[in-house]
Amino acid sequence: MALKSPIINVMVSAADKAARSLVHDFGEVEQLQVSRKGPADFVSTADVNAENIIKSELSRARPDYGFLMEESGQTAGRSADRRWIVDPLDGTTNFLHGLPHWCISIALEAEGEIVAGVIYDPVKDELFTAERGAGAYVNARRIRVSSRTAMGDALIATGIPGKSRSDSDPYLAQLKALMTADIAIRRMGSAALDLAYVAAGRYEGFWETSLHAWDVAAGVLLVTEAGGFATEIDGGRNPVHGRTLLASNTGINATLAEMLRPALPSDTLRATGTENQ
C-alpha cells in the first residue's frame, strides 16, 4: 500500500466531505431544486453545495491557490502557478435521475501541468488517486491500463455531444467507424469515471469532444500514471485544455486514433499534430 502524500490527503479530505453532502442529496433526489442551464446540462443545489464545501476545504489547506470550477468558474490565487481544477459532481444527469454512476473530480495544476488528481465515487466507495511520477491507485491498490491489443476484444467508452448539435454529425461518423468494426462501446455519462476506468483497465479506451478541463484533468493524470496515453484525437498534446480527448492503453492507441481522426471537424484539426509514440 502506498502512503498518500500531504497534497493527496488534502484533496481526499475535501472530496470525502463533499461526498457526504452529495450522498445525502442523492437519497432525496426527488426533492432537489433543479434548474436548466442549457440542453443536457443541469445544475442542482447538490452541485453548488458540494462545490462550496470543496472550495472551503481546499482554501483552508492551501489559501494561496486559485480555482477553476464548473459552477463558479475561475478564481485567481496569490500563487499564480497553482490552481485547483474541480468538478463537484460529474454525472449530474445520472445523479438527478437516481442512477448511481457519478463522482467528484479534483485536480491540482502547477505551472500548467496536472500534478495530482482524485476521483471519488462515493456510491461504490472507490477512490482513484494519482500523483505525477508516483503511479495511479484505487483504494490504495496500484492500477494499470489494460493489456488488450486486439480491437475486437476492446471495450471503448464515449460521451455523446450534448451542448452543440453541430458536433453530432462528426460524432456519428466516429461512432459508425467503430461500430462497423464490431467494437463494443459504452456511454455511461461521467467522463471522469470513464477515464478512471481506462486507468484501471476496465475500458481499453475513451473518446469525447467539447469537454472542459474540470471534466478530465484528474482522469488524464490517472490514465498516464497507469501507463496509458491521453492526447487530443488529432495527436495534440493538450488533452486537458484542448477540444478533444482520446485516452487508451498503449496497444490500441494508434489504431483507435486512426479510426476517429477522419471524422474530426476541420476547425479541430491541428496543422502539425504529433502522433503518439
Q: 22-64: per-residue pLDDT in tens?
A: 999 999 887 877 877 765 567 789 999 999 999 999 999 999 9
Sheet with 82-90: list strands edge to edge: 73-75, 66-69, 82-90, 103-110, 113-121, 126-131, 136-138, 141-142
Cell of 98: 437516481
Residue 117's alpha-carbon distances to 3, 48, 61, 72, 271, in angstroms, are 15, 21, 16, 20, 31
- Supply the pLDDT for residue 110: 97
CATH number for 151-264 (one of 3.40.190.80, 3.90.1170.50, 2.40.50.100, 3.50.50.60): it is 3.40.190.80
- Supply the pLDDT for residue 41: 63
pTM of the model: 0.92
Q: What does the domain layout of the chain look like in residue ranges?
A: 6-142, 151-264
Rounded Cα gap, residues 133 and 178, in angstroms: 33
- The CATH class given to the 6-142 domain equals alpha beta
Cell of 123: 456510491
Rounded Cα gap, residues 242 and 127, in angstroms: 26
* DSSP collapsed to 3 states, the chain: CCCCCHHHHHHHHHHHHHHHHHHHHHCCHHHCCEEEEECCEEEEHHHHHHHHHHHHHHHHHCCCCEEEECCCEEECCCCCCEEEEEEEEECHHHHHCCCCCCEEEEEEEECCEEEEEEEEECCCCEEEEEECCCCEEECCEECCCCCCCCHHHCEEEECCCCCCHHHHHHHHHHHHHHHCCCCEEECCCCHHHHHHHHHCCCCCEEEEECCCHHHHHHHHHHHHHCCCEEECCCCCCCCCCCCEEEEECCCCHHHHHHHHHHHCCHHHCCCCCCCCC
Rounded Cα gap, residues 248 and 206, in angstroms: 6
- Supply the pLDDT for residue 33: 79
- Supply the pLDDT for residue 273: 35
The phi, psi pair for 101, rounded to 5°, reads -140, 85
- Supply the pLDDT for residue 215: 96
- Supply the pLDDT for residue 165: 57
- Supply the pLDDT for residue 246: 97
- Supply the pLDDT for residue 276: 28
The amino acid at residue 222 is L
Per-residue pLDDT of the chain (277 residues; tens, 9 = 90+): 466 899 999 999 999 999 999 999 999 887 877 877 765 567 789 999 999 999 999 999 999 999 999 888 999 999 989 999 999 999 999 999 999 999 999 999 999 999 999 999 999 999 999 999 999 999 989 999 999 999 999 999 999 887 555 668 889 999 999 999 999 999 999 999 999 999 999 999 999 988 999 999 999 999 999 999 999 999 898 999 998 999 999 999 999 999 999 988 765 655 333 322 2
